[in-house]
C-alpha cells in the first residue's frame, strides 16, 4: 500500500497557526525570539490546568507530569537526531547552560590539556564564560571572524583559520553554528573533524540555526550542541545535547546523593520547568502539521525513523519558504550602493534569513526606531555579539540594523519593509 502523500500547508495556513501574526506589525525580529503556534500555547495551558503537580508519585497526575518531562527531552532529541548518541539537558537559557558547562569543565581540569579555542564572532553566551577559564590557568586562544577576499571581502567565520590554533593541548573549541549577525552557516562538521584530529571536543551554539533547520548532531559529529527553545516556536528555555562520552568526563552540579551517571538529571539543578516541557511537547503537533501529517501520530521508541522523517519534512518546508523571502531582501539590499551588508551578500542554503546592514552616515538606532513606529519590527545594536561588531569597526551600541525572518514571514512583509526603506527620509 502506498503511504499517503504529505499535505503541504500554504503560507496562509501556516500563519493562521500563530495568533500573534494576526496583529498588524510586520514581525521581522525573529532572531530575537519567534512567535508561538496555538497548539504550543494550548499545550502549556492544558498542562497547567490538568497536571500541575510534582513528579515521583504513582497517582495519575504525577505520572502524567513525569511523562511530560520525559516527552520534552525526547522531542528535543528527535529534533537534534540525538537518539542513541547522548542525552539532552533542559535549562533556563543558552547563556545559563553554557555557564553550567564551563563550570563543570572548570571542576574537571586536565593539566595536559589546558587550552581552549573560543570563536569570538558568536554570541557572548558561548564566549565570556569560556574566557573566564583563563582565571583558572587555562590558555584561551581567540578564533576571530575575518574578511574573505575570495568572497567579496565578506566577514566570515572560517574553519581553516581554526587549524593553526589547535594543538595536542586543546581541550575544547567553542563556536556558533551561525552567527546571529552574519547569518552564514559555519561548517560545523569540519570544525568538529579538525578539533577531534587533536583530541579536543567542540561546543556548538546552534541558537541561530535551529529555528531554520533541524540539525543532525550525529552527522555533524559535535560533542556538545546548545540552542534556545524560545527561538524555535517554543517556550523560554534552552536545551544542551552532549554525547555519552562528553558527559562521562564531567560531574553534574545537582545534589551529591544523585549519582553521577544520572544524566541529564545530574545537570538539571533542582529539576526543569514543567510548563515549558509541556510547550515543547506541543511543538510536535505543529511540526506534524508542517510535515504534512493528516493526523497527530504518537511518538514511541519504535517510530523513531518515521518521527525524524516528519521533522525533516517540516524543516524542509521552512527552508523552502525562507528562500523566497530571503532572496527578496538580499536582492534589494545588494541593489543599493548606499547600504553595506554585514555578512554574505548571497541568498541560498549556505545562510539563514538573518540580515544585518549599516547605512554609512546614518545611525542604525535612528533607522530601526523609525521603522518600528511604522509597525516594522526590526532592531539595531550588537545583539550580544559585541566582540564581532567591534572587530568589524562599528560602534557597538549603535551596531547594525538586523532584519530576521523565519518560515512564516510573508513576501508582503518584506515588500512593506523594502517600500519603507526606499522612501525612508534621512
Q: Which spans of this chain sit near ligand PLP (rule: CB under 6 A)? A: 93-95, 123, 125, 176, 180, 205, 207-208, 228, 238
Q: Does residue 58 sit in helix, strand or coil? A: coil
Neighbours of 75 (CB within 10 A): 23
CA distance 86 to 75: 14
Between 289 and 380, whose beta carbon lies closer to ligand PLP?
380
Q: Which three cell numbers stand for residue 200?
A: 579536543
Between 228 and 409, whose beta carbon lies closer to ligand PLP?
228
Q: Does residue 136 sit in helix, strand or coil? A: helix
Between 238 and 400, whose beta carbon lies closer to ligand PLP?
238
Compute the least distance from the CB of residue 205 to ligand PLP, in Å: 5
Between 94 and 174, whose beta carbon lies closer to ligand PLP?
94
Q: Which three cell numbers stand for residue 20?
A: 500573534
Between 29 and 398, whose beta carbon lies closer to ligand PLP?
29
Residue 26 and residue 416 in contact, taking contact as beta carbons nearer than 8 Å:
yes
Neighbours of 168 (CB within 10 A): 10
Compute the least distance from the CB of residue 264 to ligand PLP, in Å: 17
Residue 150 and residue 182 in contact, taking contact as beta carbons nearer than 8 Å:
no
Between 66 and 122, whose beta carbon lies closer to ligand PLP?
122
Checking DSSP bridges between strand 115-119 and strand 139-143, what pairing results, if any? parallel
Compute the least distance from the CB of residue 111 to ligand PLP, in Å: 31
Compute the least distance from the CB of residue 115 to ligand PLP, in Å: 23
**Maximal CA-CA distance, the chain:** 67
Compute the least distance from the CB of residue 144 to ligand PLP, in Å: 16
C-alpha torsion sign, points 258, 69, 87, 240: negative
Between 291 and 344, whose beta carbon lies closer to ligand PLP?
344
Question: Which H or E run contains 175?
Answer: strand 170-176
CA distance 161 to 200: 16
Compute the least distance from the CB of residue 188 to ligand PLP, in Å: 13
| H-type alpha helices, 374-410 | 386-391
Instruction: Tell whether omega for the bond before 18 is within 30 degrees of 0, i.e. cis.
Output: no
Compute the least distance from the CB of residue 379 to ligand PLP, in Å: 11
Amino acid at each position: 500500500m502506498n503511504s499517503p502523500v504529505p499535505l503541504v500547508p500554504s503560507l496562509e495556513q501556516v500563519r493562521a497557526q500563530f495568533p500573534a501574526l494576526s496583529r498588524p506589525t510586520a514581525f521581522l525580529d525573529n532572531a530575537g525570539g519567534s512567535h508561538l503556534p496555538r497548539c504550543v500555547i494550548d499545550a502549556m495551558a492544558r498542562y497547567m490546568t490538568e497536571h500541575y503537580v510534582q513528579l515521583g508519585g504513582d497517582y495519575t497526575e504525577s505520572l502524567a507530569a513525569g511523562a511530560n518531562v520525559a516527552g520534552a527531552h525526547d522531542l528535543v532529541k528527535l529534533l537534534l537526531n540525538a537518539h542513541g548518541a547522548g542525552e539532552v539537558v533542559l535549562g533556563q537559557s543558552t547563556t545559563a547552560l553554557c555557564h553550567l558547562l564551563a563550570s563543570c569543565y572548570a571542576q574537571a581540569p586536565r593539566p595536559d590539556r589546558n587550552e581552549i579555542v573560543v570563536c569570538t564572532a558568536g554570541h557572548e553566551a558561548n564566549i565570556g564564560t569560556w574566557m573566564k577559564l583563563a582565571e583558572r590557568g587555562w590558555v584561551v586562544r581567540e578564533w576571530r571572524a575575518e574578511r574573505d577576499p575570495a568572497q567579496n571581502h565578506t566577514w566570515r567565520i572560517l574553519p581553516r583559520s581554526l587549524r593553526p590554533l589547535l594543538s595536542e593541548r586543546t581541550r575544547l573549541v567553542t563556536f556558533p553554528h551561525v552567527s546571529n549577525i552574519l547569518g552564514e552557516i559555519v561548517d560545523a562538521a569540519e570544525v568538529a573533524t579538525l578539533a577531534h584530529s587533536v583530541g579536543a571536543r567542540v561546543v556548538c551554539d546552534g541558537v541561530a540555526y535551529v529555528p531554520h533547520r533541524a540539525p543532525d548532531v550525529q552527522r555533524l559529529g559535535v560533542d556538545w550542541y546548545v540552542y534556545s527553545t524560545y527561538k524555535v516556536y517554543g517556550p523560554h528555555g534552552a536545551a544542551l545535547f552532549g554525547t555519552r562520552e562528553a558527559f562521562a568526563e564531567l560531574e553534574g552540579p545537582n545534589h551529591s546523593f544523585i549519582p553521577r551517571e544520572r544524566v541529564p538529571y545530574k545537570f538539571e539543578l533542582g529539576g526543569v520547568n514543567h510548563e515549558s516541557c509541556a510547550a515543547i511537547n506541543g511543538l510536535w503537533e505543529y511540526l506534524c502539521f508542517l510535515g504534512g501529517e493528516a493526523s497527530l501520530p504518537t511518538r514511541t521508541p519504535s517510530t523513531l525513523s518515521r518521527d525524524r522523517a516528519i521533522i525533516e519534512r517540516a524543516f524542509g518546508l521552512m527552508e523552502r519558504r525562507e528562500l523566497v523571502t530571503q532572496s527578496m531582501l538580499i536582492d534589494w539590499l545588494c541593489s543599493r550602493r548606499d547600504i553595506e551588508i554585514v555578512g554574505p551578500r548571497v541568498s541560498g542554503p549556505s545562510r539563514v534569513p538573518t540580515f544585518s546592514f549599516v547605512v554609512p552616515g546614518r545611525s542604525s538606532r535612528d533607522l530601526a526606531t523609525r521603522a518600528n513606529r511604522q509597525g516594522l519590527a526590526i532592531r539595531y545594536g550588537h545583539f550580544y555579539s559585541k566582540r564581532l561588531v567591534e572587530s568589524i569597526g562599528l560602534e557597538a551600541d549603535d551596531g547594525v540594523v538586523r532584519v530576521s525572518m523565519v518560515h512564516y514571514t510573508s513576501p508582503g512583509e518584506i515588500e512593506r519593509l523594502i517600500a519603507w526603506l526606499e522612501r525612508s527620509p534621512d
